[in-house]
């Protein structure tokens, strides 16, 4: 068991201000798009957090629930007591990532895929999402038009006014080494890099325990695994 | 100029009752009412919780007493200003400028300017004023008075009717942190009346807490469940949207089952809360005696609840906070007692 979970939660300003006076009316769950589909109840999460029950909070950090939230913050727009459940979720997620508990659930393990894809893409290309990482194989939901787009990306970019991987003004431009160096420095100074490293190390350990090759197989495993047991 | 013993501002139940109690004791009273008739919000109501007493019976008793007493009444007259008399040596007196610009003086003033209903259009997500199926508890009461409930949808099935609690109460989003106290039991009363008129309807109340604190409230709640099969679901409604059949869908969480729910209904009744009336808010502000919401703060809610921080200025009823009719009448009696004491002591 990790020490000081409660203290670490309480130290976060988003936690301090995100949940101060819940009266369990359920309006957050009633407006929540995720709660309609997933086995997810933001009100119950507030309840658990307010109970200050460390064992139950730990189960949250190890479970799938906190990863169902889409961070749309609809809960904040409705709460009659001014709470922001989405903020509380953010803090729980961060703590789950920091403690390594995220590897204990299927949705949590996907943090590795996000870190590898979106996270590293920011460092390598200066983009959260860039067509280069959204391969057709990994994104069948985009349909065959996406394959056609990627196959002809240079020509299409010119037609659409983008400048794919070139210096200058326009979408998909190369942001330049000097800017990437700056982004990297920001991530080093603010602890972002250490945060990534932590996710990688915990994931590597999880891969070993699961008997999955970390370099070759683990990404696709966490990216594609689906127990089918997430919906209501 | 004639100086009366007491000017009462507001001719609802509180003002009428206090006027009667003061004239009973021989004091000279001048009563102002902005509407053409006395009676306030009681005139809009059909039956009262928790025992279905006719509002008009209470009104009749108040009016009969008024008729048998000698007091001056100015209806259809909204006062423009209330201030402490500025004449030298008369600083203990009060002056009221009425709607016609005339000045009236009194040794004491009692404010009974009451409350207003929460404007439900401010909760846009409930679609009041947008969907004809969404009405307020005030409008339902009017329909109950006429003995006919209007269902806007053209569904052939027995109607589903939903009551939504805490509209404009216990809600930071509209600036009203307080509980309006009367809506819980009022919804129970109205739900029973709806079931009496439409026995085949399905009636559901969406609530957060059912605050059945008054005498016989809890029993009426039980009766609604046992005898009238009114359903109660614990969950605050997040939004209401229309269907193609002119019905509406409401979304809530059944918090006791931890399950988000959608209900398609033919009529939604919004239990609108209470807010200080316009005049209450104006007076509390202009005389610097407002509580956080614009109600008039009494001098001491434990021991001097009819007094204000200004000498000779008194307050009673829902100008102070959310009260039901019996509380209002008792409070007006207490105010008359306090004012009489003040007048007899000559200060």
Question: What are B231-290's pLDDT values in tens digits?
Answer: 999 999 999 999 998 999 999 999 999 999 999 999 999 999 999 999 999 999 999 999
In a shared domain, residues B176 and B244 = yes
DSSP per-residue codes, A56-72: HHHHHHHSSGGGT----
Asked whether residue B97 falls in the same domain as residue B244, the answer is no
Give the model's pLDDT for residue B298.
98
- Judge whether residue B90 has pLDDT over 70: no
Question: Residue A167: is its pLDDT beyond 70?
Answer: yes
Contact indicator for B305, B334 with CB cutoff of 8 Å: yes
Mean pLDDT of A12-26: 92
What CATH number is given to the structural domain containing B321? Answer: 3.50.50.60
Name residues whose C-beta falls within 8 Å of residue A177's C-beta, 6 or more positions apart in sequence: none
Q: How far is CA A180 from CA A113, A126, A163, A167, in A?
A: 21, 6, 18, 13
Distance CA B265, CA A1 (A): 49
Q: In angstroms, rounded to a whole number, what is the distance separating the alpha carbons of residues B215 and B25? A: 31
Residue A212 above 90 pLDDT? Answer: yes
Cβ-defined contact of A41 to B258 (cutoff 8 Å)? yes
Give the phi and the psi of residue B107 in degrees, each rounded to 5.
Answer: -75, -35
Q: Do A80 and B170 touch (CB under 8 A)?
A: yes
The DSSP string of B109-146 is: EEE---EEE--GGGSGGGTTTTSTTEEEHHHHHHHHHH
- Do B198 and B303 reside in the same domain of the chain? no
Q: Are A64 and A105 contacting, i.e. CB atoms less than 8 angstroms apart?
A: yes
Say yes or no for a CB contact (<8 Å) between A26 and B252.
yes
Query: Which pLDDT does position A148 carry in this prediction?
Result: 96
Q: pLDDT value at position A210?
A: 94
A163: helix, coil or strand?
A: coil
State how far the Cα of A169 lies from the Cα of A180, in Å rounded to an integer. 16
| Per-residue model confidence as pLDDT tens digits over A80-99 | 999 999 999 999 999 999 99
The average confidence (pLDDT) of chain B is 95
Residues B322 and B115: beta-carbon distance below 8 Å: yes
For the segment A146-152, the average pLDDT, to the nearest whole number, is: 96
Q: Could you give the CA distance from residue B30 to residue B19 in angstroms, rounded to a whole number?
A: 8
Computed over every residue of chain A, the mean pLDDT equals 94
Contact criterion met (CB < 8 Å) for B253 and A35: yes
Give the Cβ contact number of residue A65 at 10 Å.
23
Split at pLDDT 50, 70, 90, the class of A177 is very high
**Which among B217, B246, B274 is the end of a domain?**
B274
The total of structural domains in chain B comes to 2
Same domain, B263 and B129: yes
For A196-208, write each residue's pLDDT tens digit: 999 999 999 999 9
Is the predicted pLDDT of residue B347 greater than 60, yes or no? no
The answer to whether B260 faces chain A, any CB pair under 8 Å, is yes
Report the alpha-carbon distance of residue B141 to residue B137 in Å, rounded. 6
Question: What mean pLDDT comes out for the span B3-16?
Answer: 97
Could you tell me the pLDDT band of residue A221, with boundaries at 50, 70 and 90? very high
DSSP state of B89: T
User: Which residues 6+ apart lie within 8 Å of A162 measured at CB?
Assistant: A170, A171, A172, A173
Q: How many helices (H) and strands (E) does chain A have?
A: 15, 0
User: Does residue B1 have a pLDDT over 80?
Assistant: no
Q: What is the dihedral of CA B336, B342, B346, B347, to 10 degrees?
A: -140
CA dist A206 and A222 (Å) reads 11
Within an 8 Å CB–CB cutoff, is residue B116 touching chain A? Answer: no
Cβ pair B260:A78 closer than 8 A: no
**Structural contact between residues B201 and B160, judged by C-beta atoms closer than 8 angstroms:** yes
Residues in Cβ contact with A69 at an 8 Å cutoff, skipping those fewer than 6 apart: A32, A34, A40, A42, A86, A89
Beta bridge partners of B171: B176
Whether A32 and chain B come into contact, CB under 8 Å, resolves to yes
C-alpha–C-alpha distance, residues B178 and B277, integer Å:
16
A5-107: CATH topology is Fumarate Reductase Iron-sulfur Protein; Chain B, domain 2 (1.10.1060)
Instruction: Report the residue of chain B nearest A78, measured CA to CA.
Output: B238
Split at pLDDT 50, 70, 90, the class of B88 is: low
Instruction: Kindly state whether residues B338 and B215 are assigned to the same domain.
Output: no
Structure tokens that stand for B4 in this block: 């009366």
Asked if residue B317 and residue B258 are part of one domain, the reply reads no
The tens digit of pLDDT for each residue in B139-176 reads: 999 999 999 999 987 778 899 999 999 999 999 999 99
Share of chain B above pLDDT 90, in %: 93
- DSSP E strand boundaries for chain B: 3-9, 29-32, 47-48, 53-54, 72-74, 81-84, 94-97, 103-111, 115-117, 134-136, 160-167, 202-207, 231-234, 239-242, 248-254, 259-265, 267-272, 274-276, 313-315
3-state helix, strand, coil in chain A (%, to 5): 65, 0, 35
Q: Each residue of B37-62: pLDDT tens digit?
A: 999 999 999 999 999 999 999 999 99
Strands (E), B201-272: 202-207, 231-234, 239-242, 248-254, 259-265, 267-272
Alpha helices of B159-216 — where are they, by DSSP H?
A: 183-197
Q: Please check whether residues B257 and B123 belong to one and the same domain.
A: yes
Beta-strand pair B160-167/B267-272: parallel
Q: Which member of A30, A41, A81 has the closest CB to residue B251?
A: A30
Per-residue pLDDT, B222? 98
The residues near B341 (Cβ < 8 Å, ≥ 6 apart) are none
Model confidence at B91, in pLDDT bands (50, 70, 90)? low
As a whole number, mean pLDDT of residues B105-117 equals 97
Do B122 and B202 belong to one domain?
A: yes
CA-CA-CA-CA dihedral for B317, B319, B323, B324, to nearest 10: 60
Interface test with B, best of A29, A38, A73, A76 (most B CBs within 10 A): A29
Q: What is the mean pLDDT of residues B117-146?
A: 97
Beta-bridge mates of residue B251: B239, B262
Q: Does A26 touch chain B (CB under 8 A)?
A: yes
Specify the residue for token string 């696709």. Answer: A220
For residues B296-323, average pLDDT: 97
Best to test chain B binding among A22, A28, A30, A48 (most B CBs inside 10 Å): A30
Does B87 score more than 70 pLDDT? Answer: no
Alpha-carbon distance of A228 to B105, in angstroms, equals 79
Structure tokens, B260: 């988000």
* B228 has a pLDDT exceeding 80: yes
Q: Which of the residues A20, A22, A23, A26 would you substitute to probe the B interface, choosing the one with the greatest number of B C-beta atoms within 10 Å?
A: A26
Chain B residues 194-223 with CB within 8 Å of chain A: 208-209
Query: Are residues B284 and B266 part of one domain?
Result: no
Owning domain of residue B259: 117-274
Cβ–Cβ pairs < 8 A, chains A and B: 64
- Nearest 5°: CA angle at B74, between B69 and B76? 135
Ranges in chain A annotated CATH 1.10.1060.10: 5-107
Strand, coil or helix: B254:
strand
Closest CA to B271 of B172, B171, B197: B171
């Amino acid at each position: 068991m990790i020490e000081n979970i409660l203290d670490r939660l309480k130290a976060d300003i988003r936690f301090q201000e995100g949940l101060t006076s819940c009266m369990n009316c359920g309006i957050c769950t009633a407006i929540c798009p995720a709660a309609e589909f997933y086995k997810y109840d933001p009100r119950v999460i507030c309840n658990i957090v307010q109970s200050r029950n460390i064992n139950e909070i730990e189960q949250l950090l190890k479970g799938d629930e906190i990863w169902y939230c889409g961070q749309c913050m609809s809960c904040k727009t409705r709460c009659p007591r001014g709470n922001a459940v989405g903020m509380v979720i953010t803090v729980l997620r961060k703590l789950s990532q920091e403690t390594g508990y995220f590897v204990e659930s299927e949705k949590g393990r996907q943090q590795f895929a996000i870190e590898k894809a979106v996270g590293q893409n920011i460092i390598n290309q200066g983009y959260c999402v860039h067509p280069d990482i959204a391969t057709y194989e990994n994104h069948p939901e985009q349909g065959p038009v996406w394959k056609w787009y990627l196959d002809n990306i240079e020509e299409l970019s010119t037609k659409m006014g983008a400048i794919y991987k070139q210096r200058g003004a326009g979408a998909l431009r190369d942001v330049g080494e000097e800017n990437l160096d700056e982004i990297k420095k920001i991530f080093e100074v603010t602890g972002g890099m250490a945060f990534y490293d932590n996710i990688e190390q915990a994931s590597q350990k999880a891969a070993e325990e699961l008997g999955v090759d970390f370099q070759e197989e683990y990404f696709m495993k966490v990216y594609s695994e689906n127990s089918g047991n997430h919906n209501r | 100029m004639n100086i009366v013993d007491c000017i009462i501002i507001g001719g609802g139940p509180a003002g009428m009752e206090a006027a009667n109690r003061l004239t009973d004791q021989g004091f000279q009273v001048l009563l102002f009412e902005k509407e053409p008739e006395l009676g306030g919000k009681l005139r809009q109501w059909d039956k009262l919780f928790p025992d279905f007493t006719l509002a008009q019976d209470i009104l009749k008793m108040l009016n009969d007493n008024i008729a048998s007493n000698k007091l001056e009444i100015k209806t259809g007259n909204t006062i423009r200003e209330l201030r402490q008399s500025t004449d030298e040596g008369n600083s203990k007196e009060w002056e009221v400028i009425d709607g016609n610009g005339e000045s009236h003086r009194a040794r004491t003033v009692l404010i009974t300017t009451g409350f207003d209903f929460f404007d439900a259009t401010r909760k846009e997500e409930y679609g009041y004023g947008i969907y004809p199926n969404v009405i307020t508890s005030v409008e339902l009461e009017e329909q109950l008075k006429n003995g006919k409930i209007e269902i806007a949808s053209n569904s052939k099935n027995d109607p589903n009717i939903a009551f939504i609690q805490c509209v404009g109460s216990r809600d930071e989003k509209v600036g009203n942190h307080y509980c309006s106290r009367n809506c819980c039991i009022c919804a129970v009363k109205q739900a029973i009346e709806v079931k009496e008129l439409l026995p085949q309807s399905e009636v559901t109340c969406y609530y957060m807490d059912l605050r059945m604190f008054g005498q016989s409230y809890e029993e009426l709640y039980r009766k609604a469940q046992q005898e009238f099969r009114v359903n109660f679901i614990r969950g605050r409604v997040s939004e209401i949207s229309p269907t193609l059949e002119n019905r509406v869908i409401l979304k809530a969480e059944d918090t006791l089952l931890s399950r988000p729910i959608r209900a398609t209904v033919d009529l939604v009744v919004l239990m609108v809360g209470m807010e200080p009336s316009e005049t209450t808010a104006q007076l509390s502000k202009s005389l610097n005696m407002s509580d956080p919401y614009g109600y008039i703060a009494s001098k001491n809610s434990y021991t001097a609840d009819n007094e204000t921080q200004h000498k000779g200025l008194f307050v009673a009823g829902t100008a102070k906070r959310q009260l039901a009719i019996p509380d209002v009448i008792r409070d007006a009696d207490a105010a008359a007692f306090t004012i009489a004491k003040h007048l007899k002591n000559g200060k």
